[in-house]
């Protein structure tokens, strides 16, 4: 029987797919590659080029704005659309576990990808 966490999908979204793949990888005949396409992130083949040259594909940076057209930081955007307490906890753990990485993460949250 396959491991399943589909009941958690409303909380973890696409992360449940990665968890399922991790737990059931051996049952998938151990493929060399696993493709994943988020429903809001569509790539055109001509935009990608030779897929064998890359390990991962990501979209372009995005500038978020609020209804008054003021620029949001990634932190503002997260807090407007998710639970701020989750972000606070993630920051606290990261700060304890890896202060160097936390400083980069905090810079991104407060300034954006070009921080």
The per-residue pLDDT for range 52-97, each reduced to its tens digit, is 777 766 666 666 666 665 667 888 888 888 889 999 999 999 999 9
Question: 54 and 84: one domain?
Answer: no
- Residue percentage of the chain with pLDDT more than 70: 63
Question: 49 and 66: one domain?
Answer: no
Which of 2-11, 23-32, 89-98, 106-115 is most confident? 89-98
Rounded mean pLDDT, 7-21: 75
Domain end residue (candidates: 12, 43, 59):
59
In this structure, the dihedral spanned by the alpha carbons of residues 61, 67, 71 and 75, taken in order and rounded to 10 degrees, is -70
| DSSP three-state, residue 65 | strand
**What is the number of domains present in the chain?**
2
Rounded mean pLDDT, 105-109: 91
Question: 69 and 52: one domain?
Answer: no
Full domain range(s) for residue 103: 61-115
pLDDT the model gives residue 95: 94
**CB contact at 8 A, 94 and 101:** yes
Predicted TM-score (pTM) of the model is 0.46
Question: 43 and 69: one domain?
Answer: no
Question: 39 and 23: one domain?
Answer: yes
Q: Provide the terminal-to-terminal Cα distance of the chain, rounded to the nearest Å.
A: 46
């Amino acid at each position: 029987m396959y491991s399943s966490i589909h009941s958690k999908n409303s909380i973890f979204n696409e992360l449940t797919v990665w968890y399922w793949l991790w737990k059931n990888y051996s049952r998938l005949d151990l493929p060399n590659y696993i493709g994943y396409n988020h429903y809001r992130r569509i790539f055109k083949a001509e935009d990608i080029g030779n897929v064998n040259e890359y390990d991962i594909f990501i979209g372009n940076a995005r500038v978020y704005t609020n209804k008054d057209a003021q620029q949001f930081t990634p932190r503002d955007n997260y807090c407007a659309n998710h639970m701020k307490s989750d972000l606070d906890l993630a920051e606290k753990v990261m700060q304890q576990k890896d202060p160097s990485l936390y400083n980069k993460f905090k810079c991104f949250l407060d300034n954006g990808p070009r921080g």
